[in-house]
Chain A
Amino acid sequence: MVTLEIDGQKVEVEEGTTVLQAARKLGIEIPTLCYNEAIQPYGACRLCVVEVIMGNVSRFQSSCSLPVADGMTVKTNSESVLRGRKVLLELYLARCPQSKEVKELCERYGVTETRFKTFDKMEDCVLCGLCVRVCDEVVGAHAIDFVGRGTERRVDVPFERLWDKCLACGACTYVCPTGHIQNEGRRIGQLRRNLGTERKCRYMLMGAVSSKICPNNYECWRCEYDQRTEYQLGNHPALALKTTGKK
């Protein structure tokens, strides 16, 4: 067990937990975009930045990827942390001015306008990599990855057309913090109509075919992809989507 201090409160957690998890245990809110409990921390969005004081040294680190250590003092809301977070939010606002989630975060931290240049007004992908990682780690389909670099970086399938590996499971839509992948619904819809050559399953989001046997001889909703996704995310992406659809 490791003891550390977060915002003046002492907390005892197991070794190997991250600072973010320890803070959430205390009920301290740290904003995140790229974090999901089921997936390995990635540290892409930097919004979870905290001030860590070890001895006389104070550093800024992303709390989602920082393991706890004895004698650590963490400040999650100090002035300099908030200042850093505001700059980050300005950057996010410049990239995705339309995104609802980014706007909400900005409102919470009092960021109203950005000093940076806005490129694409319709962009809402924050490149957090959650969809890429859920596809790799949880589903194991490896259908999507980052393509290009710098300002051209985006999430896509290989050669913009190789959809065969995609199972249309919807896990990426489920984890996406800004709903960018939902806008790809048209392409995923096409995919389900279009029978690929290497396909494993194209019906995971439909739900209506629960009694059918898929080409891989699994009963629907009980295939290994489905089970693994449901187990690791704690909820099936398809079920989550259905409830939001009714609203």
Chain B
Amino acid sequence: MTGEELDSIIEEKGQDAPALVGILQEIQKREYCLPFKTLGMVSEKLDVPMSRLYGLATFYKSFTLKPVGRHTVDVCMGTTCYVCGGQLLMDRLLRDLHIPEGGTTSDRKFTVQPVRCLGCCSIAPVIRVDSDVFGHVTQNQIPKILERYE
């Protein structure tokens, strides 16, 4: 990320402390992680100590320090989804994409991770790709769902 890009983000989000998380979120969205260099630039531009930025980046689950894929696949492992076969969906995903749990495919397309309850137990088992929620998923539907994403 270049300095100008960062400047435009800061201009949009504001310079004060509450905007900090928003700025980091925007960086995460564009770079798929919080790179060391970019954090250094944020620290310089906003005059926030690096230790604080690192604390924030490790506190929130949505921030990662290592790059994730373009699409995040969240497999619900809440009680209901687990009972209805969430683990089977997870196994299928990992088998199809040839990655370990929490891993990223080599073409940086998908990252698969387990999550706790997504709050829609009535359509269990649930998987979520980016912000789209799929309910009543069976193993056979998984290749079709993955095909939708570039």
Chain A residue contacts of B65, Cβ below 8 A: 159
- A136-B51 Cα distance, complex, nearest whole Å: 10
Give the interface size bracket for A toward B.
Answer: 10 to 19
- A187-B145 Cα distance, complex, nearest whole Å: 50
Give 1 or 0 for each of B29-55: 1 = CB within 8 Å of chain A CB. 000000010000000000001111111
**A interface majority secondary structure:** loop
Give 1 or 0 for each of A111-142: 1 = CB within 8 Å of chain B CB. 00000000000000000000000001000001
Query: Which A residue's beta carbon lies closest to that of B39?
Result: A158
Asked if B58 CB lies within 8 Å of chain A CBs, one says yes
Tally chain B residues at the interface, Cβ within 8 Å. Answer: 11
- A148-B60 Cα distance, complex, nearest whole Å: 8
Q: Are A142 and B58 within 8 A (Cβ)?
A: no
**B interface majority secondary structure:** helix
CB distance from A148 to the nearest CB of B (A): 5
Asked if A106 CB lies within 8 Å of chain B CBs, one says no
Asked if A165 CB lies within 8 Å of chain B CBs, one says yes
Q: Per a CB cutoff under 8 Å, which of B36, B51, B53, B58 touches A143?
A: B51
Asked, given contacts A162-B50, A165-B50, whether A145 binds B36 with beta carbons under 8 Å apart, the answer is no
Query: Which A residue's beta carbon lies closest to that of B56?
Result: A145
CB distance from A133 to the nearest CB of B (A): 12
Which residues, 194 to 222 on A, are CB-close (under 8 Å) to B? none
Query: Which B residue's beta carbon lies closest to that of A162?
Result: B50
Asked if A240 CB lies within 8 Å of chain B CBs, one says no
A-B complex: 9 closest residue pairs judged by Cβ atoms: A142-B49, A158-B54, A145-B51, A145-B55, A158-B50, A149-B59, A148-B58, A147-B58, A158-B51
Q: Measuring CB to CB, which residues of chain B are less than 8 angstroms from any residue of chain A?
A: 36, 49-55, 58-59, 65
